[in-house]
Structure 1
Amino acid sequence: MMSSEELHKRRGAAVARGVGSVINSYVDHASGGTVTDVEGREWIDFAAGIAVTNVGNSAPRVVEAVRAQVERFTHTCFMVAPYESYVAVCERLNALTPGGFEKRSALFNSGAEAVENAVKIARHATGRPAVVVFDHAYHGRTNLTMALTAKNMPYKHRFGPFAGEVYRVPMSYPLRDGGLSGAEAAARAVETVEKQVGAENVAALLIEPIQGEGGFVVPAPGFLPALREWATAADVVFIADEIQTGFCRTGDWFACDHERVEPDLVALAKGIAGGLPLAAVTGRAELMDAVHAGGLGGTYGGNPIACAAALASIETMHELDLVAAARRIESVLVPRLRAIAERSGGRVAEVRGRGAMLAVELVQPGTVTPDPVGTAAVSAACHSAGLLTLTCGTYGNVLRFLPPLVISDDELERGLDILAAAFD
């Protein structure tokens, strides 16, 4: 087997430079909470493929289901010759997502596709053009989703012009918005919409219940319910982007469940299928069915192998009670992260998140001035010591932690020891 160094040389001659990687070691195999490279070096996994392998890598049910499906057939295109597993995934999503109303689902390939199709559905159903999004938001890398995304570098820089009729309003960011309550932050956002866009022009309000790439920003309590209430009164479609927060990640099946918010549409992907590419939009039947036949779809959307993996992943989440597992991970990580913060000399401004979606924001000591250099240094030290970590945030100063939900307490503690040493 080639070494990581040799593989990296091959990559330089074959792979476009615009595709980056966090580490330069190349993976040979992975299990529940660890990744092993081609040299046999084991890494504690605090990334989970960016919140994808919630059920762990090569989860037994997923492996079995995928193997069985590959032997039966690999593709027909649901729009040409349909199959039962697509229907079954939609049934599961209709039952699992927030809201007791009648629902429908449609399957796609990626989170960006899910968001883009949710916007399509909202515009078609309402006949309105405008979409409201939030500061620090991330929604994808397609043209429309880049327009919906807030951060320029690396996501938007020199890729424009972008799709129009997208309007950005202030997010509830408790560390940085002057201590506004959730209700006050929502009122500020609503006032911006009503003055600058006009509610009657808005098709959809699109929000991550906990922001992902923007810094794991958890809005103040009451922010989401107040926005939901306004959207209902204004006949605006409330879209929850649960792509990173979904499927047990935050200690609930979906992050909206925490405050009992019921979105009209939910965009789903990442943790849905144990690592296989699958995404979905699930929502109110009258909205989903407003689109004409043929208006939604895609060649690979709801591929039968990915559907088999999704059904097995959802079974695993139920069987292993991964909602409880995410809360257990939070109970282990948060005390250790707070201890690191106390020893940091004021460099950690906040420990935040929910379930197994946690983060620390790094600043210049005694201020709220972002410290992206220090953040990168801590992350690099973790990588050198065998811990996979990710950074994020509009200012590049947030370390985020997304371990697989099946990670063991021993693996968690080993990873936290590495993190603490990196800070020290």
Structure 2
Amino acid sequence: FISDDVADTLTVASVSPSGISWDNVSIECYNDTDGPAYIAMSGVVEAGDVVNITDAGLYGTVYVDVVWIPTNEIIYHSSLYISGSESKYYILEVLVSPDYAGYVVPSGGIYEEGTELTVTAYAYEGYVFDHWSGDVSGSEPSIDVTMNSNISIVANFVAESTEHYNLYTNVEPLGSGYVTLSPSGGYYEDNTEVTLTAYAYEGYVFDHWSGDVSGSSATTQIIMDSDKNVVAHFVEVATPVVSVEITRPKAGYLYVKDVYSLPRLAKSSAFVIGPITINVSADSPHGIKRVDFYLDGEYLGSDSIYPYEYRLNVRSIGVHNITVVAYDWDDSTASDYVSAFIFNLMPRKYERPGVLKGKIIDGNKMLLRKGLGGVNITVISMDNSSFVKTVHSRRIPLLNKGRYSIRLDPGRYIVIVSAPGYNTVEKQVKIIAKKTTRENFYLSPI
């Protein structure tokens, strides 16, 4: 071989044994006996052939081997000196394992010293990149290398998992709620993260998870690395047995002398001028035993007869809290309250008697509205059980027959009307101070 320092070439001066060519050989050039070889020529080599080793970047002492390809036997070995350029070149060798699992960009090559490369591994379908080995390491598909020496790297791939698992969900008790999955479906690839959320139906609240997850938060996550079973537990919400509401006075209304009411702009409290009858609505499956009434925490009285009421008539200029507590026959309770501004300087004025008057009508002669005289009328106070008053309807004929008139203190009363040969009639009435309350009674024959 004859070297050309300027062109970085080797020229075949002659071939041996005597002849004009080598057949089926390769010419390999290298600087380091332990390093990779640069195959400069392969096939038929004849005298005068020029071997260009510029791309190999070889300079200095260059070793040359002529290899007989069929047996990989070195049939000629020599060394030459090529001054070449001052730049060094290195070989990047890239391998894939297994070789059918993917590919790498760049796939290898010869690079000038100091060249910076980004090498990226790409998987074929059914595989995923796993890690690098050889002269580099790491688990990211892309790595950076700097060509300061010959580098050999291996991109390692593994088969993509095709395992799928079922996620089974249940609720306890049945019909108490339901569970949603995100992503939905219930059948997932290996290592899929699934978010479970529990929702309660009316009358229940979520309590906790059991099975392959735990905790008391309504939302939780699970990794699907096997079949999973999850149970969402709900508990029944205890509903109040007793219900109670103050229906009068109500916040946002003006009440005048316990007679009429008007809406007002202020919604935070009621405004009361004079006395006020507190009306209460209460209910329970077990029946209402009584309703207690309080003013600013002080007990006022109780009512055990529907409608539940208490007439409040106190001297006041200011805001008060009216509270009621309802009891049922199972001793369960419920309460309600309302804030009221009460303006009442002369409560005694509102305690003056009122009048209950009307007519007892013979049911046989309803069209004529004929009065029935001498009828017993018994009045019992609902606010004071010791008060009982009995009168009779008038016996005077013509227009006044059967009429009655009774003076009563303000409050609630039960009026019982009875006569021989007739069915007894009972009514509840309310008497307002200095007012006349009219109530007629129709007695039907037995």
TM-score > 0.5 by shorter chain: no
Q: Larger % of helix: which?
A: 1
TM-score band, normalised by shorter chain: under 0.3
Give the alignment's TM-score, normalised by structure 2: 0.21
Higher relative contact order (CA 8 A, sep 6+): 1
